[in-house]
Amino acid sequence: MSFHKHLHIVGAGVAGLSIGWRLSQAGWDVDIYDKGAAGHGASWAAAGMLAAILESEPGEEKLLPFLLESQELWPDFAHELETVSSHAVGYIESGTLFAARERDDMGILRQRHDYLSKHGMILEWLDRAQLLEREPCINPRAYGALLSPEDHQVDNRALVVALLSACRKAGVKIHEYTPVEEVLIERNSVAGFVSKGHKIPAAHLLLAAGAWSGSIKGLPENFLPPVYPLKGQMLALQMDLGKPILRHVLWTPRVYLVPRTDGRLVIGATMEDKGFEEVQRAGSVLHLLREAFEILPGIEELPLIESWTGLRPTSTDDAPILGGSGIGGLSFATGQHRHGILLTPLIAGVMAEYIDKGILQEIAAPFTMARFK
């Protein structure tokens, strides 16, 4: 295939994998490079919540339409990916509960309800009895909850497995444990990159390296995406599949719990500005377990099967960085913050069209590097 239809992607998370898959469908040769195991960074560490509505907060108005658009794409995206890959992705349309464990929490819920209602979002108030009718194992002292019926979940680890399968079936080459150390620029255009000391020629390069996107050598400082890592610590318990103690995704202002179809109960997550530290701290595990126990006491007897950390790729304004870089042939798909899984289908389509046709969809226009200059 001709050189100009060959894309090299830095980063094999869900962004890099999904964009690579879409471009392979459009006839491109695609090589994806990752410094570790493919898909085992932030994409593997996530919770898989597709909560465009409840996760929207004041100050994020420009992001809300982007989140909602991607959320609408998820049913068809999940179906297509499962069909192509022959792997289920655990997409569940069960809705999400935002519960008030304490009286003061009701004020937080009212503020969120008023803000979202002003923007046309549909939420349902549940009193204590209605909440317990839906989730009998919730603490009976809980005051009530908001139900967002359109906020769902996907098993992010199953998503990674499915994307890897779809990419490989489409002919995408995935290079694990192959870091890209430096981008080579000539006359303000990409000329290639350096990996393991070898220079590899490239005319098209996509930087989708998560929290490390701002650390690649070779780019002038004013062209580096302003992305930094935001640490999150999480854990998982194992429910009895015959008697799960939770069926909805459940939030409080201090913790969230995500039940999986295999019985895992994912609990998260801290949000810590600790640089690239990935150490698991006992205090964080204690905090998560305490808060989860307060809203769902039945977790006390569940086996603790895993704990982990991840680094969210966060831009300085908490919004994604997409599109061109100002350097010929170099594109960005990074800075997704806590929305990386939710935004997967939309970013895949937007960036594939941009790289293939040079057209950036209007909905993505607020999220280019130009806003930082």
Q: What is the pLDDT of residues 200-232, one digit of tens each?
A: 999 999 999 999 999 999 999 999 999 999 999
The residues with which 257 forms a beta bridge, in sequence order, are 250, 267
pLDDT tens, residue by residue, 111-166:
999 999 999 999 999 999 999 999 999 999 999 999 999 999 999 999 999 999 99
Whole-angstrom Cα Rg for the chain: 21
Residue 91 counted as domain residue: no
Say if residue 252 is in the same domain as residue 281: yes
Say if residue 309 is in the same domain as residue 242: yes
Residue 346 counted as domain residue: yes
Say if residue 184 is in the same domain as residue 235: no
Say if residue 162 is in the same domain as residue 305: no
Say if residue 30 is in the same domain as residue 131: no
Residue 115 counted as domain residue: yes
pLDDT at 4: 72
User: Is the preceding peptide bond at 269 cis, omega within 30 degrees of 0?
Assistant: yes
For residue 291, the domain's CATH number is: 3.30.9.10
pLDDT at 65: 96
As for how many domains the chain has, the answer is 2
Residue 171 counted as domain residue: yes
Say if residue 160 is in the same domain as residue 309: no
Q: How confident is residue 1, by pLDDT bands cut at 50, 70 and 90? A: very low
Instruction: Flag whether pLDDT at 3 surpasses 60.
Output: no
pLDDT at 373: 81
Q: Percent of the chain having pLDDT more than 90?
A: 96
For residue 172, the domain's CATH number is: 3.50.50.60
Of 290, 313, 336, which residue constitutes the final position of a domain?
A: 313
Say if residue 55 is in the same domain as residue 197: yes
Say if residue 166 is in the same domain as residue 81: yes
Residue 241 counted as domain residue: yes
Q: For residues 183 and 189, what is the distance between their CA atoms, to the nearest angstrom?
A: 10
Nearest to 163 by CA among 309, 1, 305, 340: 340
Say if residue 61 is in the same domain as residue 191: yes
**Reported pTM:** 0.96
Say if residue 284 is in the same domain as residue 138: yes
Say if residue 143 is in the same domain as residue 236: yes
Of 313, 338, 363, which residue constitutes the final position of a domain?
A: 313
Residue 204 counted as domain residue: yes
The range of the structural domain enclosing residue 266 comes to 96-149+228-313
Say if residue 300 is in the same domain as residue 182: no
Q: What average pLDDT does this structure show over 38-57?
A: 97
Q: Percent of the chain having pLDDT more than 70?
A: 99
Q: What average pLDDT does this structure show over 352-361?
A: 97
3-state DSSP of the chain: CCHHHEEEEECCCHHHHHHHHHHHHCCCEEEEECCCCCCCCHHHHCCCEECCCCCCCCCCCCCHHHHHHHHHHHHHHHHHHHHHHCCCCCCECCCEEEEECCHHHHHHHHHHHHHHHHCCCCCEEEEHHHHHHHCCCCCCCCCEEEEECCCEECCHHHHHHHHHHHHHHCCCEEECCCCEEEEEEECCEEEEEEECCEEEECCCEEECCHHHHHHCECCCHHHCCCEEEEEEEEEEEECCCCCCCCCCEEECCCCEEEECCCCEEEEECCCECCCCCCCCCHHHHHHHHHHHHHHCHHHHHCCEEEEEEEEEEEECCCCCEEEECCCECEEEEECEHHHCCCCHHHHHHHHHHHHHHCCCCHHHHHHCHHHHC
Residue 337 counted as domain residue: yes
pLDDT tens, residue by residue, 301-339:
999 999 999 999 999 999 999 999 999 999 999 999 999
Residue 90 counted as domain residue: no
Instruction: Flag whether pLDDT at 250 surpasses 50.
Output: yes
Q: What average pLDDT does this structure show over 72-84?
A: 99
pLDDT tens, residue by residue, 107-120:
999 999 999 999 99
Of 286, 313, 340, which residue constitutes the final position of a domain?
A: 313
